[in-house]
Structure 1
């Protein structure tokens, strides 16, 4: 199975917080999942912790490398830049990742949020999402119980799978 590609400054284990969520499901169309993920306007329809997505520098509703966008999640207004984008094709996994940031000074939170979607043998689809975070808010999230990042990203995965099945 493939792995997330990490920028050095966001390498898990060296950041203030890290979370990883994954599902492997049967009989799900990779292109339908990709469409729901690569178009932020769909996110609030299947993930309640996402609101008000706007792509800033594109007339397209589908993200691409270099796009900047905004959305609200976990109580944070987040500005983002897509730093990796590879739609799934020719048996290669789909990859999308963004650098996101919110706040200033001691309240600043920087994240690298990455997704990997790949077809597996036996008509199975693997969806992996991982995020690293840096900053004081990340330190607080890392010790919160229950873990809001793990639980929130699992809701995102579950909602994505459910929406793709409809």
Structure 2
């Protein structure tokens, strides 16, 4: 396994050590996102491990840049929710930012891939645990997709995400 990936994994586990993802340690979510991102390369897997570290801990983008380079730091920065109080405002802000990204920039491309992987991991988890979150993801899906989807980029992730959310709409 790549040393940079191991370093990101170790850092993410340390930073999220007391955080839970439902009934399991937070790293379970990070591993799920990383597995989904694995076909897209080591940098995508590193970003998957670190994608919540800026918004959920005291870690800064500058720290990530020093440890992992600007590509990883920029991708994580693009994906990180702001510190706004309510979920709708946070999602509106990040969707606006993500919609403006150009996939010709590598950090932007990786951010969009990992953001889709993160949402798929969350939707899968919500199907096994709480209907509340699943319904929330379902409601957010049109705006999320409008902001994050790019034709030809991680189509298999989008296929599953769209189908999981559509299937439930018909239920």
- Calculate the TM-score normalised by the size of structure 1: 0.31
Q: By percentage of residues, which structure has more helix?
A: 2
Q: By percentage of residues, which structure has more strand?
A: 1
Give the structure, 1 or 2, with the largest relative contact order (CA under 8 Å, sep 6 or more). 1
